[in-house]
Every structure is written in structure tokens, then in C-alpha cells.
Amino acid sequence: MVKRERGFTLVEIVVVLAIFGIFIWIVVILTADMRAWEKRMPINFMMHPQISGVVSRLRRDVADARWPYYPSSQGTWQQSPTTLILDTLREAGTTETVVWDFSKEGEVTRLAFVAEQQQSSWTAHGTPTFKILDFPIVEHPDSVRIQAYDKDGKLAIDQIFQPRAH
């Protein structure tokens, strides 16, 4: 009977080191690729609570819009690529006119009017540059496209909202 000593052979250790080396190589390549994509992509503005609040409230206002969806003016505001004016339904069943003002750099203001009297005002700070575009879809011609650009001019937010049937 031959007694063997306990332990690993040199071949077993070399195989394990080779497998571990391949694993480390894959992790380094994936991490470098992730960092390269991270530098190319704009900031994820939707992680910022102010900006996600702007987008979600804007989506709700457009969804709650009633005919005529987009009046041409409200007081001193005119419909433009930096101003969105909507007639919306309130929870009580009454209507209000909402003005979204994106004209100030880094700031978004939402104003609500009932019978030409301002009812509320809300402002978000630290926002990208928003732009309002008409985006007619065959079955939804009153859709609106909201785009936002970061400080480098890269597209950061691009969403299409549609009024729902009431």
C-alpha cells in the first residue's frame, strides 16, 4: 500500500490560477466597457426627484387635458416650444388652465389658473433644458413630445404624452 501525501499538484494549481485569471480578465473588460458607456451617456435625470416630479406631473396634466387641449394663450403666456398651456380636468370635475413654463434655464414652473385667477404655483430647480414639440400620431393627433437636453446638448429625456378620452 502506497501512502500519498495530502495537497494539490502543481498542475491543479496552474489550472485553478488560469481559470481565476480568465474570470478577472472578463471582469476588467466589462468594467472598462461600462465606464466608457457611462462617459458617453448623459446624466440619468429621472433619478433626480425634482425632474421625475416634473415629468410625472406633466404626464398627468396632458392625460387629464380636455378639448380644446392646448389653448393658444393664458394671460401673458403664449403657446411655444418653451411654454405648454393645457386645459385640464380637476378631481372635483371642474376645469383649470395649466401653464408649464420652461423658459428659464435650469428651472421649470407650473402655474394653475381657475377662471383667470392663479390657484397654485410650483417650481422645480436644477432641471435640464426642456422643449415642447407637437407629435401627431395617426390615432392620437393631439400628442405632445417632451424633450430635455443636458448642459452639453445631449438628449436626456424624450417622451410622448397623449390626452386620454374623458
Please tell me whether residues 13 and 88 are part of one structural domain.
Answer: no
Burial of 46 (0-12, 13-18, 19+ CB in 10 A): middle
Residue 36 falls inside a structural domain: yes
Mean pLDDT on 86-105? 91
Please tell me whether residues 28 and 107 are part of one structural domain.
Answer: no
Please tell me whether residues 85 and 126 are part of one structural domain.
Answer: yes
Domain that holds residue 13: 7-41
Structural domain count, the chain: 2
Residue 87 falls inside a structural domain: yes
- For residues 37 and 44, is the Cβ–Cβ distance under 8 A? no
Please tell me whether residues 63 and 22 are part of one structural domain.
Answer: no
Residue 58 falls inside a structural domain: yes
Task: Please give the full DSSP string across 91-104, using - where no structure is assigned.
Answer: TTS-EEEEEEE--S
pLDDT per residue as tens digits for the range 1-30: 667 778 889 999 999 999 999 999 999 999
Please tell me whether residues 68 and 122 are part of one structural domain.
Answer: yes
Please tell me whether residues 93 and 112 are part of one structural domain.
Answer: yes
Give all strands (DSSP E) within 75-165, no chain letters.
77-78, 83-89, 95-101, 107-114, 117-125, 129-134, 144-149, 155-161
Please tell me whether residues 65 and 101 are part of one structural domain.
Answer: yes
Please tell me whether residues 137 and 116 are part of one structural domain.
Answer: yes
pLDDT per residue as tens digits for the range 38-52: 777 666 766 788 888
Rounded CA-CA distance 155/20 in Å is: 41
Rounded CA-CA distance 117/95 in Å is: 12
Rounded CA-CA distance 31/27 in Å is: 6
Distance of CA 85 to the CA centre of its chain: 20
- pLDDT tier for residue 156 given thresholds of 50, 70 and 90: confident
Torsion of the alpha carbons at 58, 61, 63 and 64, rounded to the nearest 10: 170
Please tell me whether residues 20 and 84 are part of one structural domain.
Answer: no
Residue 86 falls inside a structural domain: yes
